[in-house]
Homo-oligomer: A and B are copies of this chain.
Amino acid sequence: MTLVPGDLQAIGRIALFHGLTPQTIAQLVAPARTLLLRPRDILARQGDPADAFFIVVSGWLKLYRNNSAGEEAVLEMMKEGSTFAEASAFSGGTYLATAEAVADARVARVPAEHVVRCARDNPEVAQRMVSSISQHMHYLCDQVERLKAQSGLQRVAEFLASCAPADQGRCTLALPYDKMLIARQLGLMPESLSRAFARLRTVGVTVNAAQVTIEDIGRLRRIADEDRASARGAVRQ
């Protein structure tokens, strides 16, 4: 299915392409097709040749890998504006993870060789692609750091803080997808996530189904940033 004008608009809004002329963007996505995905549809499979680069227009997808024992490790969640596989498409490699829809989603698919050509013709485009890759690396580094240096409780606190629209103060929000996914994304079992939510009640966080209210976002951030021992102390009544 070809892109509708709304898709093009959505793509123009994403940070990756900010500052590019509308013509450049139009040219870049000219041969793109929109894919409509339903939950459990697979967009790309880890290990397959990366013959395209993807831009999420709407919906949610999870990026995950399954190890040889069969359990899946969720690497990242993608929503509107997220991009996937730019590095692999560029370098002629394979997809580093499987991308699977977890809600109805619209995704623009740009053939790899077209992206490579555009980047070759227009250094500005090449620049943006590498910036985008760089952001992904940044995200992955953050994730490794968090897994090595934070407790599960702290990762949950950080996740909630990252969902909040502001940097401090009070807020209420809705969890973006189900708790099982949140748990797997944070490297926890669903039961452990439940208990983490329960412990966070002592610092003014209440979770009711998908509804979350946070009394003080700053406090949550501080818990995430402290060392494990202090964080433990902070949630004791």
Contacts and interface: CB of A to CB of B under 8 A. Distances in A.
A227 B72 CA distance: 11
Given A65-B145, A130-B91, A71 B140 contact: no
Contact of A134 (B68, B70, B88): B88
B144 A143 contact: yes
Interface in A87-127: 87-88, 90-93, 96-97, 119-120, 123, 126-127
A157 interface: no
A21 B165 CA distance: 51
Most chain B CB neighbours (cut-off 10 Å) among A65, A145, A226:
A145
B73 A149 contact: yes
Interface in A118-165: 119-120, 123, 126-127, 130-131, 133-134, 136-138, 140-141, 143-145, 147-150
B73 A144 contact: yes
A147 B148 contact: yes
Q: Please tell me the size bucket of the interface on A.
A: 35 or more
B96 A137 contact: yes
A187 interface: yes
A1 interface: no
A93 B120 CA distance: 21
A230 B68 CA distance: 12
A131 B87 CA distance: 7
Given A91-B127, A140-B140, A67 B145 contact: yes
A46 to B, nearest CB: 9
Interface string A67-84: 111110111000000000
Among A88, A136, A148, which residue has the most Cβ atoms of chain B within 10 A? Answer: A148
Interface of A: 65, 67-71, 73-75, 87-88, 90-93, 96-97, 119-120, 123, 126-127, 130-131, 133-134, 136-138, 140-141, 143-145, 147-150, 187, 225-227, 230
